Chain A
Amino acid sequence: MSDPLLSVENLHTQFRTPEGPVNAVNGATFTVEAGEIVGLVGESGSGKSVTARSIMGLESPGEIVEGDIVFDSVDLTEAPEATRRRARGTSMSMVFQDPNTSLNPVFDVGEQIAESLKIHESPDSQSLLDYLHVPLVSDRREWQEHRKRAIELMEQVGIADADDRVGHYPHEFSGGMRQRAMLAIALAAQPELLIADEPTTALDTTTQARILDRIRDLRDAFDTAVLLITHDLGVVAETCDRVVVLYGGEVMESGPVERVLSDPQHPYTQGLLDCLPRRSDRGSPLPAIEGSVLDSGNSTPGCPFASRCEYATEACRVSDPPTIRPERSRRVVCGELDTVRQDAESERNAAQPRVDGGDRSIERASQERHEADVQTSGTIGKDGTGRASGWENPESRSDDTTVESETPLLEIDGVSKTFDVTGSRLERVFGQRQLLGAVDEISFRIDAGETVGLVGESGSGKSTLASVIAGLESPTEGEVRFDGATVGTVEERTPEQLSEFGFVFQNPTESLNPRMTVRETLAEPLRERNWETEQQDRRIAELLELVGLSSKHAARRPHELSGGQLQRVAIARAIALEPSVVILDEPVSALDVSIQAKILNLLLELQERLGLTYLVISHDLEVVHHIADRVLVMYLGKVMERGPANALFESPAHPYTEALFEAIPTLEDDGTAQPLSGAIPSPVDPPDGCVFHTRCPMAEEQCRREEPSFETIAGSHSRCHFAEDVTEEPAEPTIEPDNP
């Protein structure tokens, strides 16, 4: 076999910190062949990004202290900076995680792509004045040529109207389009190796699906090798050929994707796979990996995973574990593989039905569980029709045979919210107002003790709706009722009403005051309600215990806590005043899978112990599926489909819901699903008829004219003219002629 395109050997990248040097990459070894897509996975802190940056030569302020990076038969660690720069310009490119920060805001997109083309053409003769476009010095004709090529590249990565868009600045692009532009910059160098660092993590699932599609297409077309860094194993399953699992800066396991994901051998890989919500029974606790990634990868011997591994032995801690090759082209670094295998074997024997029944038995079990719920709790009607009348019109619920509490805990009644986005003062003066309808006449109810999930892409209005319910925004029309009484904005609510609501936001680092200790953060709401100091202390101790933190955390400040611990503090603060409703806005999407699992478990546990009612807003369908009883799917401010979680997830009755499902990369997927085309239309000027018709694969003439009303299908309510057809052939979405 010829040499691989890239071979990383025993790489150590070191950072100097006040506490001494830390090896973020600590002996990583792997290869990438030409034309191959390799996934590099691991939790945050596992050294994935630093590995990628070391390959690119962007490790600064870190330093490569040991090991080799051989690319195209050249050892980059020994090459002078000029060689490394030349490699970046001509044969390797990188796409960064957050397209909001990776494009330069002050140059238009065309310029940024053109630069890349120019460097590729003449990497060694870069003159500052030429790049600054100084008249006379700069070769205008050449730049114009490059700009033309830039337009072609933009078309290639799927940016529509490239002719027009080439002169736009990054802030005029949506997140997905920015990432495409970034991709175009990377591809301009016609790289042999493309490194993509979490390229889709900041994007919606539907956008993610299309970006990943592009990456695969490009590999197919140009035989580009791709190193795809991600924490999402679904993305790996759908996109990659081979996977490398990194932990503590070392490779734990590597091999072909199908083999590693279907038969993980290393305890860490197993743990990562187990904590995915989609693998577990709905509502049941997710298995989680105990502990957290070590802060400092140090060069002491022993398996880095030992502190969290349930199989760890004394030997694991004192000596480096051996590398085992269970199959051709597979490597596992673990000293206790025999025990691990035996254990898996006995587990498999114990859970017999799981083996032959596969996933189906799990689903059956969850369905049974859910049906039991339906009968006993009475929060969900016996069949779809009963439910429908209950939701549409509270008064007519008397003929509903199931026993229901008379007043729902929370009732959202015809809520609309529009924003005035009129551009300039003059337009305002002349009455040319532009209104953005963020939320459009939404009605639903939440009963005590249940969990309602709100899903949709960004721009669907789900967060605005949550702000209205939370009282942070006042509705333009309609009202929110709590326990039968109308509640207005935060200023209008009584202290009692205020304490009935708790909030948890996406990013705990932003929502917690960095200068306050955990104790101060938790005491704040209590102090506002004039609790005695003694009572406060007791409550804080209680809260810490509830969210699984110990008293030693009370004195810490946010920067001394991990992401998961911070989110626990945020949850503790939300439930401090014993609210009945907790609104969770993307509660886990900023967290690693293993931590995500723990937080979801905590939420379920708290609900059971405290009888909480949840409203969960998320773009992650798997998360919502895992914890919600009922789900509302929003698009452009309107509810497209709503129904019991089970019915909705089993057989979506709306083309949009279906499309959202198809966009999720799953472990079983082979990447054949058709992602949703086009972007969400502007809410300032929503499409006539069905708002989804511009992107709907099933759209007909009727959809362009008539707005559909809710149809009841198999327990769900779907706002689609052809709702029945959606459920009838769930496996076969209407096939469209290929979009360019």
Chain B
Amino acid sequence: MSYVLYRLATAVVVLFGVSLVTFGFVHATPGDPAETILIEQTGQQPSSEAVEEFREAEGMNDPVHHQYVDWVTGAVHGDLGQSYFSDAEVSSLILDDLYNTLELAVASILVALVIAVPTGIASAIHQGQPIDVTSQIGALIGVSMPNFWLGYLLIIVFALNLNMFPVAGSGGLEHLILPAIALGTGMAAIVTRLVRTSMLEVIDQEYIDTARSKGLKERIVVYKHALRNALIPVVTVVGLQLGFVLNGAVVIEIVFQRPGLGNLLVDAIFARNYPVVQGVVLVAAVTFVVSNLLVDLSYRYLDPRIKLGESQQ
């Protein structure tokens, strides 16, 4: 229990750091955001009074540390401020898109696991045989293929030529399949290799012979005794990959014109819509930290040797 508290405490510290960095970046960008924003809004050079008025209204004239404290206090209460361009709450903008992005991330991880785990196991069991060689070559291709390129390829083949899936947009399973494959394939390749090596190592262990010596069927030996051990390192990597998945989601969302945090963030950056930028980065960081925490805690279930109090020495 104390370990969970400890992890939560470190998570808070990390998030605090992230908030500081995000805030700092936005404020260190050259140029006066107020002026830029007013140009965007009105389409002409604003008067200095108008700029001053805007700055006052948005609290930009307060000392920087006040602005930061206000922002963090708000964030803790779920209030990330308002978009410069509409009256929309940043938090509700993000919430709408967060769902889309998480849906994509989770779907692509599922795609990766569904491909990787059985392939990795088959590869390990039939080491050196055609099935292994094929899967290894497949993995090599999968790793080397950039995800946006695969995304376009999928659109051309399955959406434009075969008309099986919609080209872009969101909503419903048919909108999710292509982006999830585009994003999940690279990860599938990495995880396949990992499952294979991990499985090969485990199969050589003596407890596998013990399991066989009990008279267990080979299927149960592999899928119960070996797999559970082989999955331990896989979980670590999948957990770490989550950061890359979020990263990749930004790209894939643009390729597929999917609403999501990626599109939201890019638009906000171009528009210098700072409250939104800050909010998205913060939310992404929270997602990342929370998912890592979950991965860490899931070890407890997978590997009873890890005592939670000791794993972080």
**Residues of A with C-beta under 8 A to B210:** 94, 96, 102-104, 182, 185
User: What's the nearest-Cβ distance from chain B to residue A584, in Å?
Assistant: 29
Please tell me if the beta carbons of B309 and A424 are within 8 angstroms of each other in the complex. Answer: yes
Contact of B303 among A105, A108, A126, A426 (CB under 8 A): A105
> Which chain A residues numbered 318 to 361 have a C-beta less than 8 Å away from chain B?
none
Please tell me if the beta carbons of B214 and A189 are within 8 angstroms of each other in the complex. Answer: yes
Please tell me if the beta carbons of A128 and B207 are within 8 angstroms of each other in the complex. Answer: no
Say if the beta carbon of B76 comes within 8 Å of chain A.
no
Write the chain A residue with the least CB distance to B5: A426
Q: List 13 A-B contacts (CB under 8 A).
A: A88-B212, A88-B213, A89-B215, A93-B213, A94-B210, A105-B207, A106-B303, A131-B216, A171-B305, A186-B213, A424-B3, A426-B5, A426-B6
Please tell me if the beta carbons of B309 and A425 are within 8 angstroms of each other in the complex. Answer: yes
- How many residues in A have their beta carbons less than 8 Å from beta carbons of B? 41
**Residues of B with C-beta under 8 A to A169:** 304-305
Proximity string of chain B (185-228) to chain A, C-beta cutoff 8 Å, 1 when within and 0 when not: 00000000000000000000111011111111101100111001
The complex places the Cα of A53 from the Cα of B206 at a distance, in Å, of 12
Please tell me if the beta carbons of B206 and A101 are within 8 angstroms of each other in the complex. Answer: yes
Given the contacts A90-B215, A105-B304, A424 and B207 also touching, CB distance less than 8 Å: no
Say if the beta carbon of B83 comes within 8 Å of chain A.
no
Please tell me if the beta carbons of B223 and A128 are within 8 angstroms of each other in the complex. Answer: yes
**Residues of A with C-beta under 8 A to B2:** 424-427
**Residues of A with C-beta under 8 A to B213:** 56, 58, 88, 93-94, 186
Proximity string of chain A (227-243) to chain B, C-beta cutoff 8 Å, 1 when within and 0 when not: 00000000000000000
Say if the beta carbon of B290 comes within 8 Å of chain A.
no
User: What's the nearest-Cβ distance from chain A to residue B183, in Å?
Assistant: 30
- Name B's A-contacting residues (CB within 8 A): 2-3, 5-6, 205-207, 209-217, 219-220, 223-225, 228-229, 232, 302-305, 307, 309-310
Given the contacts A101-B205, A128-B224, A132-B224, A423 and B214 also touching, CB distance less than 8 Å: no
The complex places the Cα of A227 from the Cα of B223 at a distance, in Å, of 31
Given the contacts A104-B211, A425-B309, A126 and B216 also touching, CB distance less than 8 Å: yes
Say if the beta carbon of A695 comes within 8 Å of chain B.
no
Say if the beta carbon of A119 comes within 8 Å of chain B.
yes
The 3 closest A-B pairs by CB, nearest first: A89-B215, A424-B309, A88-B215
Contact of A106 among B223, B302, B310 (CB under 8 A): B302
The complex places the Cα of A673 from the Cα of B13 at a distance, in Å, of 62
Please tell me if the beta carbons of A132 and B223 are within 8 angstroms of each other in the complex. Answer: yes
The complex places the Cα of A126 from the Cα of B229 at a distance, in Å, of 21
**Residues of B with C-beta under 8 A to A101:** 205-207
Say if the beta carbon of A363 comes within 8 Å of chain B.
no
Write the chain B residue with the least CB distance to A422: B309
> Which chain A residues numbered 104 to 139 have a C-beta less than 8 Å away from chain B?
104-108, 115-116, 119-120, 123, 126, 128, 131-132
The complex places the Cα of A427 from the Cα of B6 at a distance, in Å, of 12
The complex places the Cα of A106 from the Cα of B229 at a distance, in Å, of 7
Say if the beta carbon of A370 comes within 8 Å of chain B.
no
Given the contacts A88-B213, A424-B3, A425-B2, A104 and B220 also touching, CB distance less than 8 Å: no
The complex places the Cα of A120 from the Cα of B215 at a distance, in Å, of 8
Write the chain A residue with the least CB distance to B212: A58
> Which chain A residues numbered 79 to 104 have a C-beta less than 8 Å away from chain B?
85-90, 93-94, 96, 98, 101-104
Given the contacts A132-B223, A423-B309, A424-B309, A96 and B216 also touching, CB distance less than 8 Å: no
Proximity string of chain A (32-66) to chain B, C-beta cutoff 8 Å, 1 when within and 0 when not: 00000000000000000000010010100000000
User: What's the nearest-Cβ distance from chain B to residue A137, in Å?
Assistant: 14
Given the contacts A105-B303, A425-B309, A85 and B229 also touching, CB distance less than 8 Å: no
The complex places the Cα of A58 from the Cα of B305 at a distance, in Å, of 28
Please tell me if the beta carbons of B215 and A96 are within 8 angstroms of each other in the complex. Answer: no
Please tell me if the beta carbons of B214 and A131 are within 8 angstroms of each other in the complex. Answer: no
Does more than half of chain B's interface fall in helix, strand or loop, or is it mixed? helix
**Residues of B with C-beta under 8 A to A86:** 215
**Residues of A with C-beta under 8 A to B212:** 58, 88
List 17 additional contacts besides A104-B225, A119-B215; criterion CB under 8 Å: A88-B214, A89-B215, A93-B213, A101-B207, A103-B207, A103-B210, A104-B207, A105-B229, A126-B220, A128-B219, A128-B224, A131-B220, A132-B223, A185-B210, A423-B309, A424-B2, A426-B6
Q: Which of B217, B219, B303 has the most A CB atoms < 10 Å from its CB?
A: B217
Contact of A58 among B207, B209, B228 (CB under 8 A): B209
**Residues of B with C-beta under 8 A to A425:** 2, 6, 309
User: What's the nearest-Cβ distance from chain A to residue B51, in Å?
Assistant: 52
The complex places the Cα of A119 from the Cα of B205 at a distance, in Å, of 21
Please tell me if the beta carbons of A116 and B206 are within 8 angstroms of each other in the complex. Answer: no
**Residues of A with C-beta under 8 A to B232:** 106
Write the chain B residue with the least CB distance to A106: B228
User: What's the nearest-Cβ distance from chain B to residue A126, in Å?
Assistant: 5
**Residues of B with C-beta under 8 A to A128:** 217, 219-220, 223-224
Contact of B206 among A87, A88, A96, A426 (CB under 8 A): A96
**Residues of A with C-beta under 8 A to B3:** 424
Write the chain A residue with the least CB distance to B308: A424
Please tell me if the beta carbons of B304 and A116 are within 8 angstroms of each other in the complex. Answer: no
Please tell me if the beta carbons of B209 and A96 are within 8 angstroms of each other in the complex. Answer: yes
User: What's the nearest-Cβ distance from chain A to residue B206, in Å?
Assistant: 4
The complex places the Cα of A423 from the Cα of B2 at a distance, in Å, of 10
**Residues of B with C-beta under 8 A to A427:** 2
The complex places the Cα of A426 from the Cα of B304 at a distance, in Å, of 21
Please tell me if the beta carbons of A98 and B6 are within 8 angstroms of each other in the complex. Answer: no
**Residues of A with C-beta under 8 A to B310:** 423
**Residues of B with C-beta under 8 A to A424:** 2-3, 6, 309
**Residues of A with C-beta under 8 A to B307:** 423
**Residues of B with C-beta under 8 A to A96:** 206, 209-210
The complex places the Cα of A108 from the Cα of B63 at a distance, in Å, of 60
> Which chain A residues numbered 615 to 674 have a C-beta less than 8 Å away from chain B?
none
Write the chain B residue with the least CB distance to A427: B2
Q: Which of B212, B214, B224, B305 has the most A CB atoms < 10 Å from its CB?
A: B214
The complex places the Cα of A189 from the Cα of B210 at a distance, in Å, of 13
Given the contacts A98-B206, A101-B206, A169-B305, A116 and B217 also touching, CB distance less than 8 Å: no
The complex places the Cα of A86 from the Cα of B214 at a distance, in Å, of 9
**Residues of A with C-beta under 8 A to B209:** 53, 58, 96, 102
User: What's the nearest-Cβ distance from chain A to residue B99, in Å?
Assistant: 30
The complex places the Cα of A424 from the Cα of B224 at a distance, in Å, of 32
The complex places the Cα of A101 from the Cα of B224 at a distance, in Å, of 17
Write the chain B residue with the least CB distance to A96: B206
**Residues of A with C-beta under 8 A to B225:** 104, 107
**Residues of B with C-beta under 8 A to A106:** 228-229, 232, 302-305
Write the chain B residue with the least CB distance to A108: B304
**Residues of B with C-beta under 8 A to A426:** 2, 5-6
The complex places the Cα of A424 from the Cα of B3 at a distance, in Å, of 8
The complex places the Cα of A115 from the Cα of B3 at a distance, in Å, of 33
The complex places the Cα of A85 from the Cα of B215 at a distance, in Å, of 5
**Residues of B with C-beta under 8 A to A107:** 225, 228
Please tell me if the beta carbons of B305 and A189 are within 8 angstroms of each other in the complex. Answer: no
Please tell me if the beta carbons of A126 and B206 are within 8 angstroms of each other in the complex. Answer: no
Write the chain A residue with the least CB distance to B313: A425
User: What's the nearest-Cβ distance from chain B to residue A18, in Å?
Assistant: 14
User: What's the nearest-Cβ distance from chain B to residue A150, in Å?
Assistant: 13
Please tell me if the beta carbons of A104 and B309 are within 8 angstroms of each other in the complex. Answer: no
Please tell me if the beta carbons of A115 and B207 are within 8 angstroms of each other in the complex. Answer: no
The complex places the Cα of A600 from the Cα of B181 at a distance, in Å, of 65
Q: Which of B205, B207, B307, B310 has the most A CB atoms < 10 Å from its CB?
A: B207
Write the chain B residue with the least CB distance to A56: B213
Write the chain B residue with the least CB distance to A88: B215
The complex places the Cα of A132 from the Cα of B185 at a distance, in Å, of 29
Write the chain A residue with the least CB distance to B217: A126
> Which chain A residues numbered 142 to 201 have a C-beta less than 8 Å away from chain B?
169, 171, 182, 185-186, 189
**Residues of A with C-beta under 8 A to B309:** 423-425
User: What's the nearest-Cβ distance from chain A to residue B15, in Å?
Assistant: 20
Please tell me if the beta carbons of A102 and B207 are within 8 angstroms of each other in the complex. Answer: yes
**Residues of B with C-beta under 8 A to A171:** 304-305
User: What's the nearest-Cβ distance from chain A to residue B97, in Å?
Assistant: 36
**Residues of A with C-beta under 8 A to B207:** 101-105
